[in-house]
């Protein structure tokens, strides 16, 4: 499987480590969130049959975190973006 890295172009999936659901980017504010919200963030994941956003780490490459959108039924990779850009767009980072 090839991951089309936004900076480096197509790279072999073997260079990456998969972290899982990209919803991890949206961590609640630990000082204001309720225990239930923190529990849901830490333990609950969607497991869709279809389009899924995942965090991928380019460990054997430029050490970047990516958000890979792929179809879990067909393994088609639909979109790859730098997690930094996604987090900024969602107001998570400076």
Partner 1 sequence: MADITLTAAPILGLDLTLGANTLRERDDLALVSVATPQGGEDALAKALKAGFKLAMPEPTRSTQAGDTHAIRTAADQMLLVFPHDGPDANTMVQGKLKGAGYTTDQTDVWVVIEASGPDTLAALERLCPLDLHDSAFPVGASARTVMEHMGAMILRMDADRFLLLSASSSAGSFAHALETSYKNVI
Which residues are at the interface with partner 1 (CB under 8 A)? 7-9, 11-12, 14-15, 60-64, 82, 84, 94
Of the pair 33, 87, the CB lying nearest partner 1 is at 87
CB of 16 to partner 1, least distance (A): 10
Dist CA 40 CA 74 (whole Å): 28
Of the pair 19, 61, the CB lying nearest partner 1 is at 61
Q: What are the C-alpha distances in Å from 6 to residues 10, 41, 81?
A: 9, 28, 6
CB of 86 to partner 1, least distance (A): 14
Dist CA 72 CA 91 (whole Å): 27
Shortest CA distance to 67 belongs to which of 23, 29, 31, 28?
Answer: 23
Of the pair 15, 54, the CB lying nearest partner 1 is at 15
Of the pair 11, 19, the CB lying nearest partner 1 is at 11
CB of 3 to partner 1, least distance (A): 12
Dist CA 87 CA 22 (whole Å): 10
């Amino acid at each position: 499987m090839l991951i089309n890295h936004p900076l480096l172009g197509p790279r072999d999936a073997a260079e990456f480590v998969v972290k899982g659901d990209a919803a991890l980017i949206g961590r609640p504010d630990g000082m204001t969130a309720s225990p239930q919200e923190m529990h849901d963030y830490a333990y609950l994941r969607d497991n869709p049959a279809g389009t899924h956003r995942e965090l991928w780490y380019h460990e054997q490459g430029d050490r970047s975190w990516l958000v890979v959108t792929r179809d879990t039924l067909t393994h088609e990779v639909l979109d790859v973006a730098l997690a930094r850009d996604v987090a900024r767009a969602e107001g998570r980072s400076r």
